Structure 1
Amino acid sequence: MAHEGEAAPQISRVQDKGWAWVVLGATVLAQGLSLGFPSCIGVFFKDLQRDFQASNSETSWFPSIMTAVLHAGGPLCSIVVERFGCRTAVMLGGLLSGVGMVASSFSQTISQLYVTAGFITGLGACFSFQAGVTVLGYYFTRRRALANALASTGVSMGFTLWPLLSQYLLDEMGWRNTFFVFGGVMLNCCVCGAVMRPLSAKLPALSLKSSPGHLAEDVHLSNGNTLSHEVHLRRSRCDSCIQTLQKYLAFDVFCKNKGYRIYTIGVAWMVMGFVLPMIYLVPYAVLNGVEERKAALLISIIGFINIFMRPMAGLLSGLKIFTGRRIYLFSVAAAFNGLSNLICAISTEYSTLVLYCVVYSISMSVLGALIFQVLMDVVEMNRFSSALGLFTILESITILIGPPLAGLLVDLTGHFRYVFYTSSFFMVTAALFMGFSFCTMTAKNKSKESHKPTPENTSRGKYTEVPTELGPEKNGSPAVIYVTSI
């Protein structure tokens, strides 16, 4: 216990100041390199389709796999972080991303591209992004909300710069050499990870590789008050498997918490349509006579507006008027985003496409700012990490199948316009499902409270605000969580 008393002042000296801001800068860059990267894939769509003689559906599997692995790799990233720390996870992610892109430049078939640029690069981006977000929780306490808001601008900057860089390099040297160069660019994530010094190196009693539960267990072990390592090793594989699933995938929360179940299903359905414009907008514009560089600029417009709109959306959602109502703001933004896709389907004039990008990016910013805040509202924070694991797994499945199905629709009809109709359908129906379901659930809960106010039942499945800040005694060692973003 003496070690804990000595360690706390040391933690306070490094948090929220000094090197913490260097770590924040590295996280911004890592987010731009990793999560922002899939935004440029549409630039290469037609070239890949031509060189590999692949259909729209076959070509769209490549970005689908990359984006799905980026989301689904959350539990694996969490295990790596707990085992080796955030610095190692970010550097490993940069190495995987770089190797994946270099290997993809030598791909001879579209199937090889699925593995190299899709799976390997996607997993590397997942490690770099999610471990980078996690480390902010250790370096920031009082200014953690500000740090996460600033870090999210890295994604928006990635959306802005990646398409422009991609189009320029594609015109100059072709997609193979461009992918080779991208491999070197992605290795900069290793540099970002190198500056993320683990606090555990100085404070062994507060190791970053342990969550609060593990930390308490380690303290008990050091005092001889718990089972020895030999007893832990004798646990059955079945018990270990159940504990692992409960830790990283909250199936029990999904079954018991109606609000979490509605929100998870709604978002999983929504992302089937949400990712489609980012993949098909550039080839849609090029096919309708827009010059390739101007088409790539459309994605950059979306990213540029996101730089300013995401922090504003975060501040807006923090107003008291939205307390307990963020899910409805999220649903409205999803419906607005879906309806905006009809602008693309109506006209292919470049000015109309620019207008579409502006409208789309505003609603996209609100969705990106609220998606995990709403999840925190419907799930207790002590189960947030495992609830997020199941949330991202289900989300990744629909992300994986959405673009190929849309590509198949294009192959059958011959019109990209149907992609945007499909996107509108998924977004609007998901918004209606979540909005009406939560409204009905809230009304039923109020009715039950008025007739039979039982404290044990009023919290189950009810949409309420759950405190997101840890208590003062836990600020030194926040839980290791994995976070994804739209």
Structure 2
Amino acid sequence: MNNMHQENERKYIHTESTHLLRKTGYRKRKLATKLRKVVVMVSCIMQLIITSGIGYGLSVMYAELVIVFNAKRADAALIQSLNMGLSCSSGIIFTSLIDRLGPGKSIVIGGIVSSLGLFLSAFAHGLTLIILCTGVLSGVAMSINFLSAFMTTSFMFPNSASLFLIILTSGHSIGQFIVPLLYELFISQYSWSGAFILISVNVESWFIVDHMVSRGFTRESGSMLVSSLGIGSFIGRFLGGILQYAIKWPTVYHWVYLCTLTAGLHALIINLNEFWSLFVSCVMYGILFAVTSAQLPAIVFEASGHERYPRAMALINIACGLGDTLGPILGGFIKDIFGEYDVVFYIAAGGSLFISGTAIIISCIINYRKFRSESDILAFDVEYKTLK
């Protein structure tokens, strides 16, 4: 009788588990092989190359559209700000969709819709259609690919997610290096509208091209500086992985000194006028910014844990998306009023110092909690030995 009861209970648990797995869209799978993990990692990096690169490269298109449509910079900046902001912040809307369909199908849907938005922008006769198609439609669609890449990586490497999430962010850097050059090539060969068709199959990155044009340099020179940020960014992602692997302390500790150095470069770049000194400074800035931003997914994972990571990362992306949305708009607005970008760069320097100060406070809280935890354990040991 007892055996029959246990057998019925086992069948019930099995039935309920199967129903739950089907409901959530997950099925029992074999353990991933090393080859499969490599393929998945490369695919996720490719998603970030495309998603980040397209939004980042719009800084080149921004300078061109201001001239073509004789538009205010604040209006033209809406295209990049909405695209980059929504690609980060709107991903939380699609977490249930990604859970149900899986990352693969979700990425296919996001890629098709994003390409459609970019393609339609080529037929615009003003900024409004470009803002709606490239800024809103493509930005929202890209958020599916963006979040899917982070979710997949955290699930594929649960035991070393912090390290592989930092490696994943190398896709940002590769996209920042390659895509601005493609924009420049496509604009020079096929005009801005042709560039949108071909493309459809951070403060320096937003304004450096227009800043260079304003100071008498060519748009090509500005495009080279944007790509130099990508070169530095790739080096920075690599260094971020080394720091995570070699130094075993909470990741947020690194932000104390990295953000301070970044603030210094924000202020330095705006005061340089010679091309090669700007080039070197942009490479250095790309390195520092990449090391810092590469550690954000790891900080979120360490704070939230594996189970809560997808939602936590989606919430962090909302915050990043708000910054990406407001940054270009405010920068263009300031340029329209003051005729230069100096104020923008100094504000960015102040923001970096604020983050550094916040990191100091968080580090103190971590150390305090660690001290309290060790004190509690020591007190328990003393009490236990006394009772014994």
Task: Give the TM interval when normalised to the shorter protein.
Answer: 0.7 to 0.9
Give the match for residue 32 of structure 1.
Answer: 49
Residue 193 of structure 2 corresponds to residue 285 of structure 1: no
Amino acid at match of 1:323: W
How far apart are residue 44 of structure 1 and its match?
1.4
Cα distance per residue 1:267-325 (max 9 Å; x no partner): xxxxxxxx2211101111122122322221112122123223312212213334x513x
Aligned pairs for 1:328-407 within 5 A = 328-407=253-332
Q: Secondary structure of the equivalent of 1:346?
A: coil
Matched with 2:386 is: none
1:377 partner amino acid:
E
Selected match of 2:199 from 148, 160, 182: 182
Aligned to 1:154: 171
Equivalent in 301, 307, 323 of residue 249 of structure 2: 323
Shift of 1:398: 3.0
1:11 maps to which of 20, 25, 30: 30
Task: State the distance in 2 between where 1:44 and 1:10 align.
Answer: 44
> 1:276 corresponds to which residue?
203
Instruction: Give the TM-score taking structure 2 as reference length.
Output: 0.83
Equivalent pair of 1:285/1:348 in contact (CA under 8 Å): no
1:116 aligns with 2:123: no
Q: Give the 3 Å change call, closer, same or farther, for CA 448–337 of structure 1 in structure 2.
A: same
Deviation at 1:445, TM superposition (A): 4.5
Find runs of 4+ consecutive structure 1 residues off by over 6 angstroms: 1-4, 446-450
Cα distance in 2 for partners of 1:405, 1:279 equals 11
Tell me what 2:365 maps to: 441
Match of 1:73 in 2: 90
Q: Identify which of 235, 243, 250 aligns with 1:308.
A: 235
Taking the aligned partners of 1:427 and 1:20, their CA distance within structure 2 comes to: 35
Q: Offset of 1:155 from its aligned partner? A: 2.3
Task: Provide the aligned length of Structure 1 versus Structure 2.
Answer: 358
Partner letter of residue 11 of structure 1?
K
Give the equivalent residue in structure 2 for 1:89: 106
Name the aligned partner's letter for residue 410 of structure 1.
Answer: K
Contact 2:236 2:288 (C-alpha < 8 Å) held by counterparts:
no
Matched position secondary structure for 1:335: helix
The answer (yes or no) to whether the contact 2:114–2:139 under 8 Å persists in 1 is yes
Report which stretch shifted further, 172-181 or 107-116.
107-116
Q: Which structure is higher in helix share?
A: 2
Cα offset, 1:28, TM superposition: 2.6
State the alpha-carbon separation in 2 of the partners of residues 148 and 384 from structure 1. 12
Separation in structure 1 between the aligned mates of residue 124 and residue 343 of structure 2, nearest angstrom:
31
Instruction: Report the CA distance shift for 1:132/1:387 in structure 2 as closer, same or farther (over 3 A).
Output: closer
For 1:392 and 1:163, the matched residues in 2 are separated by 23
- Which amino acid counterpart does residue 332 of structure 2 have in structure 1? G
Percent identity over paired residues: 18
Which blocks of at least 5 consecutive residues in structure 2 are unaligned?
A: 1-9, 18-25, 379-388
State the distance in 2 between where 1:82 and 1:308 align. 33
Pair 1:427-2:343 in alignment:
no
Residues 132 and 379 (structure 1), Cα distance of their counterparts in 2 relative to 1, 3 Å cut = closer
Letter in 2 for 1:294: S
Q: Structure 1 residues 143, 426: CA separation in 2 closer, same or farther (over 3 Å shift)?
A: closer
**Who is 1:128 aligned against?**
145
1:27 partner amino acid: C
Per-residue deviation, 1:98: 0.5
Distance of 1:24 and 1:377 partners within structure 2: 20
Q: CA RMSD in A?
A: 2.9
What residue identity is the alignment partner of 2:99?
E
Counterpart AA for 2:33: D
Q: Please name the residue that 1:265 is paired with.
A: none
Structure 1 residue 162 displacement after superposition: 0.5
Query: What is the aligned partner in structure 2 of residue 458 from structure 1?
Result: none
Letter paired with 1:441: I
Shift, 1:376, TM fit: 2.4
Deviations, residues 336-385 of structure 1 (Å, cap 9, x unaligned): 11210122221221012112112201211211221121222333443333
